[in-house]
């Protein structure tokens, strides 16, 4: 936080006061004795319990000729989706991410079929549905995305908290400098999600095959839902009296 003695460029920015930009680019202020300002920045992070888990599930077939790879892939694909639906997940919650028949370059004339889905589940069923998919033939799982029904409401909550903190910081700074806080001249903001994602890493297809051959059923993974968070930052410039 710092105090500037004035601005000449804010006439151009008057229309930006209410809207607030989506970036926190701090404007360059031209100091003049007749216009005094005080600028502050603040950041706040809010969290919430997840309401939705988005699983990333897929499989790939063993290398074979194109026709056999496609046939094996179609069988596995339908078995996985049928198992997920049989566990009570609605069709609308299952979405294809990608599917392709790929050449295996280190094995001449061999192909594999690869397919991936996203599956939305309640957070407390994430491990169960993942286990259902793997039992039905899935051999790949990427990250689990944890989210809420109304992401925008969470972002607005973070932004409101950051704005409140910025105003409070400005008032404290003004008192400490022996001046009186005036009207808001300029404000910008930015809202961001978490920097990292929860990843549930699965064993490869070979280890699944070995487990099935030994007939040793594995228990579902222990998966603890991650809190959903949003961070907002606010940069504000106030006139001082």
Contact 78, 113 (CB under 8 A): no
Helical (H) or strand (E) element with 163 = helix 151-176
Per-residue pLDDT at 166: 96
Torsion angles phi and psi, residue 224, rounded to 5: -105, 120
E strands, the chain, are: 2-4, 37-48, 52-60, 94-103, 111-121, 140-147, 181-192, 228-240
**Closest by Cα among 56, 59, 57 to 102:** 59
Q: What are the boundaries of each domain within the chain?
A: 2-47+150-193+231-240, 52-147
Q: Say which CATH topology domain 52-147 has.
A: Alpha-Beta Plaits (3.30.70)
Residue 217, pLDDT score:
60
What integer pLDDT is reported at residue 28 of this predicted model?
54
CB 210 within 8 A of CB 153: no
Mean pLDDT for each consecutive 10-residue tract of the chain (241 residues)?
A: 38 35 48 74 96 96 94 96 97 95 91 96 94 93 90 96 96 94 94 58 35 53 89 95 86
**191 neighbors 159 (Cβ within 8 angstroms):** yes
Q: Residue 92 to residues 120, 144, 148: CA-CA distances in angstroms?
A: 9, 18, 17
Report pTM.
0.70
């Amino acid at each position: 936080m710092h105090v500037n003695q004035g601005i000449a460029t804010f006439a151009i920015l008057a229309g930006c006061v209410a809207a607030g930009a989506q970036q926190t680019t701090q404007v360059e202020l031209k100091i003049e004795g007749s216009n005094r300002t005080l600028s502050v920045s603040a950041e706040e992070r809010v969290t919430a319990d997840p309401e939705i888990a988005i699983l990333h599930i897929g499989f790939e077939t063993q290398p074979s000729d194109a026709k056999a790879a496609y046939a094996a892939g179609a069988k596995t694909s339908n078995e996985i989706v049928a198992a997920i639906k049989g566990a009570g997940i609605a069709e609308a919650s299952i979405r294809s991410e990608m599917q392709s028949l790929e050449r295996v370059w280190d094995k001449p004339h061999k192909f594999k079929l690869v397919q991936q889905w996203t599956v939305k589940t309640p957070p407390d069923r994430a491990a169960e549905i993942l286990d259902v998919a793997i039992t039905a033939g899935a051999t790949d799982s990427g990250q689990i995305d944890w989210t809420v029904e109304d992401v925008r409401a969470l972002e607005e909550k973070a932004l409101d908290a950051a704005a409140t903190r910025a105003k409070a910081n400005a008032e404290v700074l003004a008192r400490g400098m022996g001046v009186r806080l005036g009207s808001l001249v300029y404000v910008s903001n930015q809202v961001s999600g978490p920097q990292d994602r929860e990843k549930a890493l699965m064993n490869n297809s070979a280890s699944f095959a070995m487990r099935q051959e030994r007939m040793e059923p594995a228990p579902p993974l222990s998966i603890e839902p991650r809190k959903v968070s949003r961070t907002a930052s606010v940069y504000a410039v106030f006139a001082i009296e």
